[in-house]
Amino acid sequence: MRQDDPVHIARPETFISIDVETAGPNPEEYSLLSIGACVVDDPDMAFYVELKPVSEAVDAEAIAVSGLSIERLSVEGVEPAEAMRRFDEWIADATPPGRTPVFTAFNAPFDWMFVDTYFRRHLGRNPFGHSALDIKAYYMGLAGSSWADTSMRVLSPLYLDGRDLSHNALGDARDQAEMFRRMRGTARRGSE
């Protein structure tokens, strides 16, 4: 195949930083409680929603981390199908025509499994396709580090001036975006 074959021409990408807060460790048993997202290179272009729980299963540690109230969300949360419809519309608005949205997260497998499950369950598709960029793995490749050295304890002093994540999904999405921007800057300088 030729290099200029349309199949091999990459579309420009829009990296979207995503964080979720949940009622537990997996979407089959536990509810997705909040989604925060922002465009990595424009963190003011942001999305946030809190969802109505779909099950009563709760992991006490997960709830303690997020500080979200299952009781409050049961009354005030957005129905999951509506929340995912809104998120889908925001992704379309945040991704310029001709560009591909790229799901970007810190420990992407966790956030991905909830977002993918909810999109497929409620919309029948996932606007991100079937892949995600993991910031932890990106750093591991960039630095040649061990997996243990991709923890927030190690990376926050390098890329977030030592601050901790807030465990508010939008705040964390913005912090992850900053971390990823700074890592990409390091990678670009290293390749010059």
Please state at what angle helix 108-123 crosses helix 80-94, rounded to 10 degrees: 110
**Cβ atoms 32, 66 nearer than 8 A:** no
**Cβ atoms 173, 37 nearer than 8 A:** yes
pLDDT of res. 1: 38
Domain ranges of the chain: 6-190
Other C-beta atoms closer than 10 Å to the C-beta of 111 total 29
CA distance 91 to 126: 11
**Is 167 annotated as catalytic?**
yes
**Cβ atoms 39, 11 nearer than 8 A:** no
DSSP readout, 89-119? Answer: HHHHHHS-TT-EEEEEETTHHHHHHHHHHHH
CATH topology of domain 6-190: Nucleotidyltransferase; domain 5 (3.30.420)
Instruction: Write the secondary structure of 140-174 as one string of H (helix), E (strand) and C (coil).
Output: HHHHCCCHHHHCHHHHHHHHCCCCCCCCCHHHHHH
For the whole prediction, is pTM greater than 0.75? yes
pLDDT of res. 174: 98
Q: Helix-strand-coil percent breakdown of the chain, rounded to 5?
A: 45, 20, 35
Check 8, 122, 130, 167 and give the catalytic one. 167
Q: Which residues contact 97 (CB under 8 A, 6 or more apart)?
A: none
Question: What are the helix and strand counts (H, E) for the chain?
Answer: 7, 5
Token reading at 124: 């029948």
State how beta strands 42-50 and 32-39 pair. Answer: antiparallel
Taking the chain (192 residues) in consecutive chunks of 10 residues, what is each chunk's mean pLDDT?
54 95 97 98 98 96 92 97 98 96 97 98 96 95 94 94 92 97 84 57
Nearest alpha carbon to residue 181 among 10, 15, 46: 15
